[in-house]
Amino acid sequence: MKDTKQYQLDRENVPQHVAIVMDGNGRWAKKRSLPRLAGHNAGMAALKEIVKRSDVLGVKYLTVYAFSTENWKRPADEVSGIFKLLIVYMKKELAELHANNVHVQIFGDYSRLPKDSIDALETALEKTKNNTGLKFNIALNYGGRDEMMQAIRRLAAKCCDGTLKPEELSEEMVAQQLYTAGMPDPELIIRTSGELRLSNFLLWQSAYSEFVFTDVLWPDFTPEEYERCIAEFQGRKRRYGGV
């Protein structure tokens, strides 16, 4: 049953940065005796509504986990289908995203994707690059460990060429080498479908994030369920290691 309850959110305490592990597309399809790609297609529709609700609520940064570095292990037809759906999503939604001042960014090395997928992504990046509204970050071919290894290599190179001393290294320097450079860490990370793990998502940035896990499968994740998750976040006291 879909959640239609209205939640009284504190608009002064809406998280600036929300990150979501969009999980459960395959199980959603299986429950309906549909191909897995039908679940991914339904998940794209759910994503559209969550982007819109994020903008309405005043969320400044929305980061979604669309395809991990580990997802290449999936059947080739499913991987290919996901990338084709990505093209459809970008072409269908780009005008509305741009009209609503949304700034699209990609976290991850998308150079491995098929050329038509790359073209669709780069069209969106170029068209929205000067937009000043919601920062919509899509993690594609992304892995938290890979992100940190790239940061380590860049900083190590500076140490090797003498432009940086090891003792000068700081957390701020590491943070500036990540995809989220210049952004606040996510205050809230949501994972759908009942799984209780990060799955290599924003490992550095999630040090003090609040986690909300929901059994709702991603295609059924409504704006109302999104608000319920934010309401749960707002009911917590964040102490950052203090008392």
Q: Bin 194: left if φ > 0, else alpha if -120 < ψ < 50, else beta.
A: left
Strands 135-142 and 188-191, sheet pairing: unpaired
Show the domain range for 34: 13-145+184-233
Q: What is the pLDDT of residues 140-166, one digit of tens each?
A: 999 999 999 999 999 999 999 999 999
Structural domains counted in the chain: 1
Q: What is the pLDDT of residues 52-83, one digit of tens each?
A: 999 999 999 999 999 999 999 999 999 999 99
Q: Bin 241: left if φ > 0, else alpha if -120 < ψ < 50, else beta.
A: left
240 belongs to a structural domain: no
CATH number at residue 106: 3.40.1180.10
Higher-scoring residue by pLDDT: 92, 243: 92
Nearest to 183 by CA among 202, 167, 197: 202
In whole angstroms, give the CA distance from residue 112 to residue 29.
Answer: 27
Query: Buried b / exposed e across 156-167, counting CB within 10 Å, b at 16+?
Result: eebeeeeeeeee
175 belongs to a structural domain: no
Q: Which among 3, 10, 23, 55 is annotated as catalytic? A: 23
Q: What is the pLDDT of residue 237?
A: 87
Phi, psi angles (nearest 5°) of residue 229? -65, -40
Q: Which among 71, 100, 131, 200 is annotated as catalytic? A: 71
174 belongs to a structural domain: no
The amino acid at 100:
N
Specify whether the CB–CB gap between 67 and 142 falls below 8 A: yes
pLDDT band with cut points at 50, 70 and 90 for residue 4: low
1 belongs to a structural domain: no
Residue for token pair 């592990």:
21
196 belongs to a structural domain: yes
2 belongs to a structural domain: no
Specify whether the CB–CB gap between 117 and 83 falls below 8 A: yes
Cα–Cα distances in angstroms (integers) from residue 7 to residues 10, 97, 164, 189, in the given order: 10, 26, 50, 19
Q: What is the pLDDT of residue 1?
A: 45
pLDDT band with cut points at 50, 70 and 90 for residue 243: low
179 belongs to a structural domain: no
194 belongs to a structural domain: yes
Phi, psi angles (nearest 5°) of residue 21? -90, 105
Active site residue 71: yes
Of 3-7, 98-102, 142-146, the range with the lowest mean pLDDT is 3-7
Nearest to 43 by CA among 6, 77, 82: 82
